[in-house]
């Protein structure tokens, strides 16, 4: 299955991925209207360690702790993609408690949200990858490490 991977060497720390993500998931067609002067809730986050920056988003784990731990049964795996049913989520953040990557966070309504690979929003493929100016995030098939 194709997943989002990070090449931290090439990350410029420009945060464009965060904006592209927030826009792709806003359901709006005008980026300025969607994001200007509003708190944004991207599902990918740039972290910094000394002078290195890198993007963190859901790994779509093969054996995901969030799915097993959700107290509402709101997280499931559909064709390898780990998805949150916003309408069932009660915002308890047990998924935040267990995600080993810090990849899930509360969204604007308090319901948990995370990267779902843009498969269902207007973008159709990960917007963070599409918009990254330096190929620091890629969307591809990789083999499991032995």
Partner 1 sequence: MSKFVIIGNGVAAAGCIEGIRSIDKESEITVISAEKHPVYSRPLISYYLEGKTTLEKMNYRSEDFYEKNKAELVYASAEKIDLKKGEVAFGSKKTKFDKLCIAAGSSPFVPPMDGLDSVKEKFTFMTMDDSLALEKALKKDSRVLIVGAGLIGLKCAEGILERVGSVTVVDLADRVLSSILDNECAAVMQKHLESKGMKFLLSDSVAKLETDKAVMKSGKTVEFDVLVLAVGVRANTQLAKDAGAEVNRGIIIDTKMQTTLENVYAAGDCTEGYDSSIDANRVLAILPNAYMQGFCAGVNMAGGDSSITNAIPMNSIGFFGLHCTSAGSYFAQGEGEVYEEKSCGGIKRLYIKDNKLTGYIIIGDVTGAGIYTRIIREKTDLSGVNIDKLKNNATLAMFLPETRRKMLGGVV
Give the binding site for partner 1 (CB under 8 A).
3, 5-8, 47-49, 52, 54-56, 59, 61-62, 65, 68-69, 71-73, 87-88, 90-102, 104-105, 110, 142-145
**Minimum separation from the CB atom of position 54 to ligand SF4 (A):** 15
Q: What gap in Å lies between CA 102 and CA 87, rounded to an integer?
A: 22
Residue closer to partner 1 by CB (options 16, 95) is 95
- Pick the binder of ligand FAD from 12, 52, 71, 90 (CB under 6 A): 71
Q: Can you give the length of the chain in residues?
A: 146
* Minimum CB distance to partner 1 smaller for 31 or for 106: 106
Name the residues that contact ligand SF4, by CB under 6 A: 58-61, 64-66, 70-72, 74-75, 82, 84, 89-95, 99, 101, 103-104, 111-112, 114
Chain positions 75 to 114 lying near ligand FAD, rule: CB under 6 A, are 92, 94
Instruction: Give the C-alpha separation, 84 to 81, whole Å.
Output: 10
Task: Please choose which of ligand SF4, partner 1, ligand FAD, none residue 31 contacts, taking the beta carbon within 5 to 8 angstroms, the exact cut-off set by kind.
Answer: none
CA dist 89 and 14 (Å) reads: 32
**Do 87 and 78 form a contact (C-beta atoms < 8 A)?**
no
SS3 2: strand
Nearest alpha-carbon partner for 22 in 4, 34, 12, 5: 34
- Least distance in angstroms from the C-beta of 58 to ligand SF4: 3
What gap in Å lies between CA 82 and CA 39, rounded to an integer? 25
């Amino acid at each position: 299955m194709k997943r989002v991977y990070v090449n931290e060497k090439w990350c410029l720390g420009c945060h464009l991925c965060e904006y592209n993500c927030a826009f792709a998931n806003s359901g709006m067609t005008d980026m300025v209207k969607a994001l200007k002067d509003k708190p944004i809730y991207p599902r990918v986050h740039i972290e910094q360690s000394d002078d290195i920056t890198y993007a963190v988003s859901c790994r779509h784990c093969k054996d995901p702790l969030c799915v097993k731990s959700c107290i509402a049964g709101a997280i499931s795996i559909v064709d390898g993609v780990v998805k949150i049913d916003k309408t069932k989520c009660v915002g308890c953040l047990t998924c935040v408690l267990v995600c080993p990557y810090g990849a899930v966070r509360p969204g604007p309504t308090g319901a948990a949200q995370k990267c779902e690979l843009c498969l269902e929003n207007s973008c159709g493929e990960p917007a963070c990858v599409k918009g990254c100016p330096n190929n620091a995030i890629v969307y591809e098939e990789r083999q499991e490490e032995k």
